[in-house]
Amino acid sequence: MASTQGAPGGGNSGVKRYQLGKECELRVEIGDDSRLRLRLVSGTAEIFGTELPPENWLSFPPGHKFAVFTWHGATIELEGKSELAYVADETPMVSYVNVHAILEGRRARARSSSTDSEPSQGPRVMVVGPTDSGKSSLCKMLLSWACKPSWKPTFVDLDIGQGSITIPGCIAATPVEMPVDPVEGIALEKPLVYFYGHTTPSINVELYKVLVKELAQTLEKQFASNAESRTSGMVINTMGWIEGVGYELLLHAIQTLKADVVLVLGQEKLCSMLKGVVHGKDIVKLHKSGGVVPRNTKLRQRARSTRIREYFYGLSNDLSPHSSIASFNDFSIFRIGGGPQAPRSALPIGAEPAADPTRLVPININADLLHSILAVSYAKDTDQITSSNVAGFIYITDVDLQRKKITYLAPCPGDLPGRFLLVGTLTWSES
């Protein structure tokens, strides 16, 4: 039930108070032009597995969607305008926390069986399912619950369409040492980021596979020298494309990242298919939350734009990106993929040259780069570019062909950490 009373401090939007019973949740959707504050008045509650501090107001930016869940009962107050806010008493949270308990047991066993020379492997859990099934939300819960008893799991994000660690168009991983902040999201500790450059894998399927493999190999090296990370395991988020090529990429990711637990959200057919071909791993079907909101193409594009804006300006416009001007010859720009693997003369008669998905193609700077997002590679040589992770991103705001100057926006002032830049199809309009 919900009751309303006046706003603290004389605000115009008023305060709504919600009484939540045991194992209920308050589902909230904030409009794109609204802001909202929330606080826990009594009881205990959590957002994405992170406990709310009592009596502290949390400020949420426009467009946020979340659920406040309580195991034992709580009173919640909302101040501001929400597009939707309602209490639900049917949630899949008990099954989610049961999965967490099993993962905890595996982490504990891995820790007890580890030696100084050979750390044991903790659980590597991959969350799969169709678009808008709540995969990223479940990942956040599993990470937050794992961090409470001081585990430090690695979060791997393979969803290039949205991007939970960095901007869309990337495959990334980061160690997680603290429960996920309900507003700010995952605190980034030395994220490992590979730039794919597109928001759908169909543009270059083989490159997507190559980058997943590079990420996996780098993580294995890190785990070999860090027993704590290895025993804490991984939580892996995946794309919502689960048919055809998407299904093929899912199988590739399970094998490459050596996932031993696959959680299937809201898709019985996918669960059955995986059980038929993936052996020696636990395939577990879970119900998706009733609070999951389906998004159309326009909403997805808006979410991508918001993620890119947050990278440069911060969640609350609290960052000041730096505009710089550089000469065309200050750096080299490349696209990965394209161009024939072999000249037509070297092919059998009648055969057509196929595009090389990992070929490095130099890009001439022209007006087409305007509004593009470019990645700054750590590579020191061109032959390292495809396999190198990236330092960050810049946004092209002007291309002056006469003066051969390019103007770009970067998160901070100073020289770029590398002179090799990568471009894909990722663009952004600052308006």
**What pLDDT was estimated at residue 317?**
83
**What pLDDT was estimated at residue 160?**
96
Q: May I ask the CATH architecture of the domain 2-90?
A: Sandwich (2.60)
Beta bridge mates, 66? 28
With bands split at pLDDT 50, 70 and 90, how would you rate the model's confidence at 19?
Answer: very high
Across 328-419, where does the E strand assignment appear?
A: 332-336, 360-362, 372-377, 390-400, 405-410
Amino acid at 313: Y
pLDDT tens, residue by residue, 413-431? 999 999 999 999 999 987 6
Task: Compute φ and ψ for 296, nearest 5 degrees.
Answer: -85, 180
Q: Residue ranges per domain, the chain?
A: 2-90, 93-286, 320-427
Structure tokens belonging to residue 243: 């048919």
Helix (H) or strand (E) holding 314: none
Choice between 117 and 221, residue whose per-residue pLDDT is larger: 221
pLDDT tens, residue by residue, 123-141? 999 999 998 899 999 999 9
pLDDT tens, residue by residue, 313-363? 998 888 899 999 999 999 999 999 865 554 555 556 665 556 788 899 999
- Tell me what the mean pLDDT of segment 373-380 comes to: 96
Do the first three CATH levels of 2-90 and 320-427 match, i.e. the same topology?
Answer: no
From residue 191, alpha-carbon distances to 47, 55, 125, 392 in Å are: 23, 33, 19, 10
- Tell me what the mean pLDDT of segment 279-307 comes to: 89
Beta bridge mates, 181? 185
Helix (H) or strand (E) holding 87: strand 84-88
CATH topology of domain 320-427: Elongation Factor Tu (Ef-tu); domain 3 (2.40.30)
Strand-by-strand arrangement of the 84-88 sheet = 50-51, 46-47, 65-70, 24-29, 84-88
From residue 275, alpha-carbon distances to 55, 251, 262 in Å are: 46, 11, 10
State the CB neighbour count (10 A cutoff) for residue 81.
Answer: 16
Strand-by-strand arrangement of the 192-195 sheet = 192-195, 170-175, 154-157, 234-237, 124-128, 261-265, 282-286
| Contact between residue 215 and residue 252 where contact means Cβ atoms under 8 Å apart | no
Across 260-380, where does the E strand assignment appear?
A: 261-265, 282-286, 322-327, 332-336, 360-362, 372-377
Q: Which residue, among 249, 394, 235, has the nearest Cα to 324 in the 3D structure?
A: 394
Evaluate if pTM is beyond 0.75: yes
3-state secondary structure of 109: helix
Q: CA triplet 83, 87, 89: central angle to 5 degrees?
A: 145
With bands split at pLDDT 50, 70 and 90, how would you rate the model's confidence at 7?
Answer: very low
| Contact between residue 224 and residue 145 where contact means Cβ atoms under 8 Å apart | no
**What pLDDT was estimated at residue 1?**
37
Rounded Cα distance between 300 and 296, Å, is 6
CATH topology of domain 93-286: Rossmann fold (3.40.50)
With bands split at pLDDT 50, 70 and 90, how would you rate the model's confidence at 8?
Answer: very low
Beta bridge mates, 126? 236, 262
Examine the pLDDT at 219 and tell me if it is beyond 90. Answer: yes
Choice between 175 and 290, residue whose per-residue pLDDT is larger: 175
Structure tokens belonging to residue 275: 């059980």
Cα 47 to chain centroid, rounded: 17
Helix (H) or strand (E) holding 99: helix 93-113
Task: Compute φ and ψ for 132, nearest 5 degrees.
Answer: 55, 50
Examine the pLDDT at 6 and tell me if it is beyond 80. Answer: no
Rounded Cα distance between 169 and 211, Å, is 12
With bands split at pLDDT 50, 70 and 90, how would you rate the model's confidence at 177?
Answer: very high
Task: Compute φ and ψ for 408, nearest 5 degrees.
Answer: -140, 155
